[in-house]
Structure 1
Amino acid sequence: MNRRTFVALSTSAVGLTPWYSHAFFFNDPPKPAWLKEWVKINDQRLESYQKYRITDSDSQAYGGCMDGNDIPNPHSTADFIKRVSLALSNRESAYYHSADLMNQVGLALKFLLKIQHEDGTIDLLETNFHSTPDTGFIVKRLAMAYKQLAASNAPGSEKILPDYKAFLVRGGEALKVGGIHTPNHRWVVSAALTKLNELWPNPAYVARIEEWLAEHIDMDADGQYNERSTYIYSPLTNRLLITIAKGLKKPELLAFVRRNLNMTMYYVHPNGEIVTEASGRQDKALIGTMESYYYAYRYMALLDNNGQMAAMCRLIENTAAMRQAEFLDYMLDDSFLWKELPASKPLPTNYAKEFLGSGLVRIRRENWDSTLFTNNAAWLTFHKGNAVLQGMRVAASFFGKGQFQSEKIEKEGNSWVLKSKLEGPYFQPIAKEEIAADGDWEKMPKSKRRQSEIQYLESIVRITEGDNGLEVDIQMQGTDGVPVSLELIFRAGGVLSGVINHPNKEKAYLLTATNGTYQLKGDTITFGPGKALHKNVQLRGALPAVDAPTVYLTGFTPFKHTIRIS
């Protein structure tokens, strides 16, 4: 089958229009230099897969790929198939039209078909079995890779494409009817069905997509998706919504992508990392860079001629260049993305902005930034280039529940204020009529007992901008004499000065001097003054220490201390 014939068969029913897709596979422009480099990076990643391939023909998993724990699985195998397909299909690859790789991908496809369930699903062996969402993740990416390979005229491809199609079509049967776990899974399934519908149009695919879209897009007033997963699922959702918008000619979905991309500009640290601490998913508090957003920023920059989104692309190119190539299939799928970006316009680098939906405040002043959090024990972070204060926490030894966090952030004048109030009661004998005949304590709950000798702990944290940084005023009062421990948790790899080693704990330091410093790669955070009235830094009821260099300030209630960070 030649290239022109394939395109006619696979896209004739889609009804391409200028806004839907700017890729015409029989007339693509030359690849730009950066995309050719991505193809070479894909080659490098592909080489690393060879040690995970199962080459023993007597093995039940022959042809498949293992994960890092030596478990053959569909995800590693599918990623191998995707990478090989892209390499075989692009002249810039060292493996273009490789007969050996064609044989390898054929074996991998047979393994993938072997472990695909009769209902079309696959398993995520870590946790999900007969999983429609995980089938969607794989089908979405393999459908794009299939299109590349089928259009390439690679010798031997005609022998493996039937197995390729069989896996995808069987997966489509699962996607038409299967359920989901999380909000983004709806769009994973819908985007996968969209790509299948481009290859093999099916009204049932579209009907299922419409069923999921009828639930509306899960976006708050700030522009953030329900899961608040800034490193993993927000950028994923942007890619998925663009896919659905293009494939089903629904440009209204792009409005949600625009809103999220505009919001995300305010979530970027000066070194190109992204705020993750408010995530509701597994990327919470991970160190994350912006590569996963590149596709969406590039697409919208070109579609809208948007200079700020173009500037975000260039920022990502400068801070996460190698990792961008993980989305090579997206870029090859639409040559519209190969165009030159518009001229950059300035990005926001000087602001104080609330994001109530995510329960945080972002403050950035050019080369430093801070994030304040509600409902989070680590209620403040501070970044200054490469030097990072990962979190500030404070706790008191108050009835095993003295770890401070605040349900809300309030603006009072020039300050942001976080508060909490705790009670520590004792309990009187239970009423006679409530006494359990068998003396079972659980049958005489505290909720039925009168409280007495109630102790109180009121905590107020007031954060105010100062000279090139923040002033953090902490007041904890109520019951007197309660031990307090304030933690400054820094990123590993830097050098602390002006502090003393804790005598009993590793990676723990006390600040007794006027100021301490933390330096990493030429950037310095200064903090102080110190206070160290005791050495009990791991208080009962407080969260365990983080495995990171941590500076402690200690005292007793009434605890009043202002620490400056710059």
Structure 2
Amino acid sequence: MAVSRQLVSINDQWVEEGLAGQILDRNHRSFGGVVDRENGIAWPNHHAGTPVWMSVWGAALVNPDSAYYHHEEVLERLEYAAQYMLSFQHEDGSISPGWTNFHSPPDTAFVVVGYSQLYLLLEQDDWSKNAPVASRILLFLKQTIPVMLTGGCHTPNHRWVLSAALSYLYQLFGDSRLLTRAEQWLAEGIDATPDGEWTERSNGIYNAVSDVMLIHTARILSKPEYLQPVRANLNMMIYLIHPSGEIVTDYSGRQDFGQTFTLDNYLLAYYLMTPIDHNAQFATMTELAEQALCTTTVRPPSSANNPLVGMLLYPHEGETVIATALPTHYRQMINGSFDRDSYIQQIAEVGYSQIQYSRPHLDFGAPVMRIREEKTSVTMMAETSSFLAIRHGHVRLLGVQIASYFGPGFVPMQTLTETTEGFTMTATYEKGYNSCVPEHELPASAQATVSPWYLLPHQHRIATHTQTYQLEVRMTELENGYDLHIISNEPADVMTQLSFVFDQQAIITAVDGHLEQIHPFSQLWSAGTVVVQQGNDRIELTGGCLEHTALSVREAHYPQDCQTLLVNVMTPFEHRIGIRLLSGTDV
């Protein structure tokens, strides 16, 4: 597969944008850096920092199809940027993105992965004028070795970023310590379910990060077994695309939750895996990802995952894999047979009480059901604030949620099972009180003039008056929609609120029901039928109710850039909601 003219063209546009944003004042502390347009600061990081533009410039400089092939001004700007990177590298070899992580090993690792590819790309070019800037890049990489040998991580995907960075440094410098450290990270085992779901369930961002980093690691270290989780995730993603080309992000465990993302982050991973697996659907996903990158992306990709750099550095060889059509009619259960509970029960045996600077991601492996019927795209999911999302043509029901004062807050469903009529989802939570600390367990501080709460051994308190809250959602599939039967009987008198979140552009009309605007972004739906329309597509809802008048549930926050319908019920209840998907002249 040759690099497309479209990809070269968009990269050339980014060349211009980067040149325009570079700081050329030699008296400026960030001389040579490229300003982040969101905050006006030049950063040395991989995502919105100067390395992003260095990768763009490098890909243009070595590519004969680019308007900037062997362009001396661009080369000069690249040298300025390389000087900036060295000046913002700490003595320990690390970099600081500035907004959250400081002296950060994983952020440095992201830069190492992109910088290594850029160096190799410049090295394989026959233009001798590349040599000075290549040497600066190599110096930066060499100076990262100490932090890469000792540095830790925050999140699960960081381990594979560090592994890839260590692998590249091992390729460049041959230091066996780098290989040993990479293998220490790999020895922790792969955090993906058999269906390809990574820990963070981040379809928009971090799943793609784990994929491409393990591809680099597997290739450099000759460990093809690490391609299997990548393969599984890339197969899984075929079923996690809406008809519009957007990725399903309704259940992410990271910052892409509910945000709009396309396949562009997956472009390099699909490109690299297509000839390895001779997979025709991967070839199609490559084309879709490239189209998304060239038509919807507003900024260049991460320097660690720049597809043009990767394509130029690792060109396809041999027979071309012909793309094939992707499925538009399917029912795909993800993690349906994954025994998540058995893993969670082992936490006590491991012995940790918390993960410092991170969290356990107990939602890992929760079931997700995807249904696609041409323009209708349905997602059912456990262990997230919303249990159902529906895209029907232009109408977007972004989430159906249940909030309760038992917690208080949104109630994540814990199970998702298929039945003869549709699906059942359940949740069971407990809440009680803590007894006094036994006298023989009290510390000396308890007898002091001041006895701080935080010095008491709370682990020795026994629970009292524990209550159990149960919730069940029975979903019946119909030819043109769904019936929801939502049940909660105990404990009594729990104020509960159902929410239906729609796109801001949707037109919401009460046909024979009643809506009361309570905020600019939310309405109480107390009775009757509501029709939500965008274009010629409509979703009809029945089942409004107002058993209490609370405008919200504490700890449950509704998005202010959407429109939310609220239905108020009180336990015990068995409440029914009808969802009908209509188009054109349907009535």
Normalised to the residue count of structure 1, the TM-score between the two structures is 0.83
What is the aligned counterpart of 2:369 among 338, 362, 367?
Answer: 362
Summarize the alignment of residues 169-318 of structure 1 with structure 2, pairs less than 5 Å apart. 169-317=142-290
The structure 1 residue matched to 2:412, chosen from 405, 412, 433, is 405
Query: What SS is found at the alignment partner of 2:519?
Result: coil
8 Å Cα contact 1:270/1:384 also seen in 2: no
Return the letter of the residue paired with 2:311.
Answer: M
Report how far residue 495 of structure 1 moved: 2.2
1:336 corresponds in structure 2 to 316
- Would you say the 8 A contact 1:265–1:348 is kept in 2? no
SS of the residue aligned with 1:55?
coil
Q: CA separation in 2, counterparts of 1:448 and 1:253? A: 45
Q: 2:118 aligns to what? A: 145
Cα deviation code 1:49-104 (max 9, x no counterpart): 34432222111221122322222321212122221111222222222222222221
* 8 Å contact kept, 2:238–2:326: no
Q: Which residue in the other structure is 2:79 paired with?
A: 106
**For residues 533 and 179 of structure 1, do their structure 2 counterparts lie closer, same or farther at Cα, with a shift above 3 Å needed?**
closer
Distance 2:488 2:54 in 1: 58
Residues 430 and 312 of structure 1, relative CA distance in 2, 3 Å threshold: closer
Measure the CA separation in 2 of the matches of 1:254 and 1:318: 25
Change (3 A) 1:386 1:313: farther
| C-alpha distance in 2 between matches for 1:215 and 1:448 | 35
Residues in 2 aligned to 1:152 and 1:352: alpha-carbon distance in whole angstroms: 46
How far the C-alpha of 1:269 sits from its partner, in A, is 2.5
| Equivalent position of 1:19 in the other structure | none
* 1:162 counterpart letter in structure 2: S
**Residue 97 of structure 1: aligned partner:** 70
- Using the TM superposition, name which of 519-528 and 141-150 deviates more: 519-528
Match of 1:88 in 2: 61
Q: Does 1:502 align with 2:509?
A: no
Residue range with higher mean Cα deviation, 526-535 or 247-256: 526-535
Residue 492 of structure 1 is matched in structure 2 by 504
CA RMSD of aligned residues (A): 3.5
Aligned-partner residue type, residue 66 of structure 1 = V
User: Is the contact between residue 298 and residue 337 of structure 1 (CA under 8 Å) also seen in structure 2?
Assistant: no
State the alpha-carbon separation in 2 of the partners of residues 264 and 336 from structure 1: 22
- Distance in 1, matches of 2:210 and 2:318, equals 22
Q: Aligned-pair distance for 1:512? A: 5.1
1:38 aligns to 2:51 (yes or no): no
Tell me the CA shift for residue 116 of structure 1.
0.9
Indicate yes or no: 2:563 matched with 1:549.
Answer: yes
User: CA separation in 1, counterparts of 2:197 and 2:547?
Assistant: 43
Structure 1: give runs of 5+ residues left out of the alignment.
1-30
Select between 132-141 and 277-286 the one with higher mean Cα deviation.
277-286
Distance (whole Å) between structure 1 residues aligned to residue 542 and residue 318 of structure 2: 50
Which deviates further from its counterpart, 520-529 or 141-150?
520-529
- Asked if 2 retains the 8 angstrom alpha-carbon contact of 1:430 and 1:449, the reply is no
Does the CA contact (< 8 Å) of 1:121 and 1:135 recur in 2?
yes
Match of 1:17 in 2: none
Report if aligned partners of 1:278, 1:360 keep a CA contact under 8 Å in 2: no
Letter in 1 for 2:557: P
- Residue 112 of structure 1 deviates from its aligned partner by 0.8
Aligned residue type for 2:190? I
- Which residue in 1 is equivalent to 2:388? 380
What is the aligned counterpart of 1:416 among 415, 419, 423?
423
Structure 2, gaps ≥5 residues long? 302-306, 339-363, 582-587
Distance 1:522 1:420 in 2: 36
In structure 1, how many angstroms separate the alpha carbons of the residues matched to 2:155 and 2:164? 15
For residues 171 and 531 of structure 1, the distance between their equivalents in structure 2, rounded to whole angstroms, comes to 61
Aligned residues: percent identity? 30
Tell me the distance in 2 between the aligned counterparts of 1:329 and 1:63.
21
Query: Structure 2 vs 1, CA of residues 432 and 168 (structure 1 numbering), >3 Å: closer, same or farther?
Result: closer
| Other-structure match for 1:57 | 26
Deviation for aligned residue 1:549: 0.4
Q: Size of the alignment, in residue pairs?
A: 531
Matched residue, 1:561? 575
The residue matched to 1:347 in structure 2 has which SS? coil
Between the aligned partners of 1:360 and 1:298, the Cα distance in structure 2 is 28
Q: Does 1:128 align with 2:101?
A: yes
Distance in 1 separating the partners of 2:175 and 2:238: 38
1:17-59 superposed Cα distances (whole Å, 9 cap, x missing partner): xxxxxxxxxxxxxx83x52321221121232234432222111
Larger Rg: 1
Q: 89-98 vs 150-159, which deviates more? A: 150-159
Q: Deviations over 1:486-520 (max 9, x none)?
A: 11011222222337653431122244564323333
Matches within 5 A, 1:529-548: 529-533=543-547, 535-539=549-553, 541-547=554-560, 548=562
In structure 2, C-alpha distance between the alignment counterparts of 1:401 and 1:524, rounded to whole Å = 33
Q: Would the aligned equivalents of 2:283 and 2:323 in 1 still touch at CA under 8 Å? A: yes
1:122-173 CA-partner distances (Å, limit 9, x unpaired): 1121222222211111111122122222333446323322212211222234
